[in-house]
Structure 1
Amino acid sequence: MKRTWLTLTSIFVLLSFVSCSENHFREDKVFAGGLYVKKVDLNKGKQIYTEFCMPCHGVDGDGKGVAAKAMKVPPRDFTAGVFKFGEVVAGELPHDKHLYKILEKGLHGTAMLPWDLTEQQMYQVVQYIKTFAPQVWEGKDKKLGEQIVVSKNPYGPAHKQAAIEAGKKVYHGEAACWSCHKAYVPKAELAKLADMSVSDITDDAYQIKLQETEWGFKNIPPDFTWHSVRSAETVEELFVRLSAGVGGTAMPSWKGTITDEQIWALSHYVKYLMDLKDTPERKAFMKGLK
């Protein structure tokens, strides 16, 4: 009789634990932008997170899941409330639809794959992820960033080469992208575009430079002719990323610093560099830099 009582007690405790686990949230929440989220959606979001996200991002959302140690690119730490690839100025809070895009498309060159989730599931798991950084997301006073507006591309197909040339000047001149990434023109041309003397340009200009991040580890800016650009494939997507910047990193928002026309030109130039990847032309292009 005693053994039966202990067994029933154990089952009751286990069921109580499961019940509490499945109903972790007892109250509704209000997130940035005045979004009212029901507790049932938060609890469902936790279930989805546990099934799909927890192995990499961890139980506590800190990016320290059991699979994280084997990854070259660390999983995002959600407890900081900093997102790299929103479509708002870097440092501002992204809209839910920006995070849905990451879930739908994944991030190139990382272990973040596209997930086949319904829109309702994406909504639920995104709301749950916000609970890892309540200081950033929770409260009626929290504001979402202003959506980056894609202006009209001033360069049509007939002016593609002109766009690339203009973008090359922006990349090596006004924006000085090579100071973090690398230069893609010979020293004499770089000196002219950057308004420097040739003697001041070292071989370091042709190397990518490690950059600090808000997560405590260093970030490697891409070599556009070799690495994948994680959140962009098209000229339009590059325009958004260049306008927004990359949150938590040294990659700034160029919106308002240079003109939209210059950002479009820069987007065309970066796309040109990206298209050299895995082509015979890349070898000749890189040889021409020496």
Structure 2
Amino acid sequence: MRNTMKGLKLTLTVFSLLALVSCSETHFKEDKIFAGGVYAPAKSLNDGKSLYTEYCMPCHGVNGDGKGVAAKGLTVPPRNFKLGQFKFGRVVSGELPHDEDFYEILKKGLHGTAMLPWDLSQQQMHDVVQYIKTFAPEKWEGADKKLGDVIVAGKDPYGEAHKESAIQRGKEVFHVVAQCWTCHRAYVSHAEFSQIAQKINGAPVTEFDPDMYHVKLQPSDYGVATMPPDFTYDSVRSATTVEELYVRLNSGVGGTAMASWKGVLQDDEIWAVAHYVKSLMDMKRTPARAKLLESIKN
């Protein structure tokens, strides 16, 4: 019995030593250069891997494929980094985002998901972001790869003084010009919708989509269908302010049916929709929401 215990202890000791050696093994031996000329020394990549293993791996998985041990219990699937897709950048969707876009999500998280804010230093954020890029080398590696142009919210042409007119204009653009309700849902009655159509297009609407008051599942590049938010009920993942909504409308949501509206709508129209959507978001959990829903019953 004593010899058996000694053998077990020896086995455990050897196993522990092997585990320590394995954990301390340097994974990256060479530096890398990523899109936009971002330089990542081997040390940063190895430090980033350690941070990823500690904080990110339970959800995003050992291989960055979004299949961590905690993923099965999450309503919103963790991101599959191997696709090299980025949803919430400040560039037109489909273009490569800047590191600051990653940092923003690390610092603020994503509303309505298990992606919470992380208290990381600037260096730690840099390291883990560079490591995440290694999951999709064909998208990220190489100094010749370009980053998208940063979309910046300039001066709001409406401002607080003309907020109500911005909301009204945004309502018109949302429902008739951009027809955002075809993915999200409508927030006006048939009668008001017809009046807006008369004003914008010179002709009223007499036939209505039976699903106009329902949010519709949309295809995505992530292997799962995505549900656009009902702005009066759901969380908007990456925006809480008019300015953030303006950026999101211009950039779109990468890999989803939410395309960029930049160059499709006029700049003042995008600002107006941002104001209107923010007004809908402000109704969440308030009597105003119930009043709105009652008013659009047909």
**Where does residue 243 of structure 1 map in the other structure?**
250
**Where does residue 17 of structure 1 map in the other structure?**
22
Q: Write the mapping of 1:15-54 to structure 2, written as runs, cut at 5 A.
A: 15-20=20-25, 23-54=26-57
Q: Write the mapping of 1:97-246 to structure 2, written as runs, cut at 5 A.
A: 97-194=100-197, 198-246=205-253
Letter in 2 for 1:64: K
User: Given the alignment of the two structures, is residue 79 of structure 1 paired with residue 59 of structure 2, yes or no?
Assistant: no
**Where does residue 268 of structure 1 map in the other structure?**
275
Letter in 1 for 2:236: V
Provide the rounded CA distance (Å) in 1 between the counterparts of 2:68 and 2:220. 20
SS of the residue 1:205 aligns to? coil
Deviation sequence 1:122-156 (CA, Å, 0-9, x none): 00000000000001000112111110022210112
Aligned pair partner of 2:266 in 246, 249, 259: 259
Provide the rounded CA distance (Å) in 1 between the counterparts of 2:286 and 2:22. 57
Provide the rounded CA distance (Å) in 1 between the counterparts of 2:110 and 2:219. 20
Conserved 8 A contact 1:191-1:201: no
What's the CA shift for 1:193?
3.1
Letter in 2 for 1:276: M
Which runs of 5 or more residues in structure 1 are unaligned? Answer: none
Provide the rounded CA distance (Å) in 2 between the counterparts of 1:212 and 1:39. 38
Provide the rounded CA distance (Å) in 1 between the counterparts of 2:116 and 2:16. 38
Conserved 8 A contact 1:211-1:220: yes
Letter in 2 for 1:203: P
Letter in 1 for 2:225: K
Provide the rounded CA distance (Å) in 2 between the counterparts of 1:28 and 1:93. 21
Conserved 8 A contact 1:33-1:144: yes
Provide the rounded CA distance (Å) in 2 between the counterparts of 1:12 and 1:250. 50
Letter in 2 for 1:96: D
Provide the rounded CA distance (Å) in 2 between the counterparts of 1:10 and 1:286. 63
SS of the residue 1:36 aligns to? strand
Provide the rounded CA distance (Å) in 2 between the counterparts of 1:118 and 1:11. 31
What's the CA shift for 1:202?
2.7
How high is the sequence identity, in percent, across the aligned residues? 60
Q: Higher mean Cα deviation, 192-201 or 204-213?
A: 192-201
SS of the residue 1:53 aligns to? helix
TM-score normalised to the size of structure 2? 0.91
SS of the residue 1:203 aligns to? coil
Letter in 2 for 1:61: G
SS of the residue 2:166 aligns to? helix
**Where does residue 4 of structure 2 map in the other structure?**
none
What's the CA shift for 1:15?
4.6
Letter in 1 for 2:138: Q
Letter in 2 for 1:241: R
SS of the residue 1:206 aligns to? coil
Deviation sequence 1:184-227 (CA, Å, 0-9, x none): 10112223434576442133000000000001110000000000
**Where does residue 285 of structure 2 map in the other structure?**
278
Conserved 8 A contact 1:164-1:265: yes
Deviation sequence 1:71-90 (CA, Å, 0-9, x none): 10000100000010000000
Provide the rounded CA distance (Å) in 2 between the counterparts of 1:245 and 1:177. 13
Provide the rounded CA distance (Å) in 2 between the counterparts of 1:43 and 1:88. 28
SS of the residue 2:212 aligns to? helix
Q: Write the mapping of 1:55-70 to structure 2, written as runs, cut at 5 A.
A: 55-70=58-73
Provide the rounded CA distance (Å) in 2 between the counterparts of 1:97 and 1:202. 41
Provide the rounded CA distance (Å) in 2 between the counterparts of 1:13 and 1:227. 48
User: How large is the Cα RMSD of the aligned pairs?
Assistant: 1.8
What's the CA shift for 1:19?
3.1
Provide the rounded CA distance (Å) in 2 between the counterparts of 1:9 and 1:55. 27
